[in-house]
Structures are given as structure tokens and as C-alpha cells.
Amino acid sequence: MFIVDQIGVIRVVKEGTLLPEPFLDLKSKVIELKNEHEERGLLGLAFHPDFQRNGRFFVYYSAPLRQSAPDGFDHTTVIAEYKATGAGLKSGDAASGRVILQVDQPQYNHNAGTLMFGPDGYLYISVGDGETKMTSAPAT
């Protein structure tokens, strides 16, 4: 069983025991979390349908806002691919990370985080609405 911890760590429970070493530690990439209500962080994990053969897995996390983001935005959502290594693919290789998508988010909340492979073999990603402030003109 894999546990995705919002602070940026993926842990493994094997035979009812939490293993001492994390599967993957992304704390250095995840935005600093607040002490109060928080909807950012490491939010999703999906294993490639052929993980046992290729060791590929994908993560969804909130990173500090990238330089090219619009003014006033809060953070950047990152979807990245990693590879597992070792006998039985027992640990994620932090150096293997490859960013496949970045989405600048306007707010700290409503970030979704679901990653999942569909029956068609495609990776599906929910990025939320970031509680985007929208305005509209009155109907005439």
C-alpha cells in the first residue's frame, strides 16, 4: 500500500508495517504548506498500467509559482513522470523526474489532484478550477 503525504512524501506500508524509507521524497519540490487549512501539496499518484515492467509512475504536486506565471497567481501545479528502481521496483528515483505538464493556479484551493489511467491506457488528470474569480456582464 502506498501513502501519498501532502507534505511531499510517498510512503509504503508492507504487511501492516510502515517502511522506514520513503518510496519517494519530493519535499524540496512542493510549495511550503500553511499551518491552517491547506489544499496544496503532493496530491496525486498513478502507476503506469505496465508499471511492473517499465517502473513508470506519475505524481501531481503544487510547486512554487514559476516565473512565467501571471501576476497575482498562487502556485504552479506540476504533473511529473518518475521511474522506480531496485529489486521489485521498491523505490522511486527522484533524479528520474520529468515534468510533463505545468498549470499556473490563481488560488491556493480547489486544486483537485486526481491522476488515473483509463481503460484506454491514457493518463487522466483533474486540475481543479483554482477557485478562479470569474465575472460576467448582465444579460441584456
Reduced 3-state DSSP string for the chain: CEEEECCCEEEEEECCEECCCCCEECCCCCCCCCCCCCCCCEEEEEECCCHHHHCEEEEEEEEECCCCCCCCCCEEEEEEEEEEECHHHCEEEEEEEEEEEEEEECCCCCCCCCEEECCCCCEEECCCCCCCCCCCCCCC
Q: Is the pLDDT of residue 35 over 80?
A: no
List C-alpha distances in Å: 88 to 84, 91, 92.
9, 9, 11
pLDDT band at 136 (very low <50, low <70, confident <90, very high): very low
Q: Can you tell me the mean pLDDT for 61-70? A: 94
pLDDT tens digits along 40-50: 999 999 999 99
| CA quadruple 110, 116, 119, 123: dihedral sign | positive
CB 16, CB 3: distance < 8 Å: no
User: Can you give the pTM of this predicted structure?
Assistant: 0.88
Strand partners, 4: 10
pLDDT for the residue numbered 130: 64
Q: Can you tell me the mean pLDDT for 25-35? A: 92
pLDDT tens digits along 84-112: 998 778 899 999 999 999 999 988 888 88
pLDDT for the residue numbered 27: 97
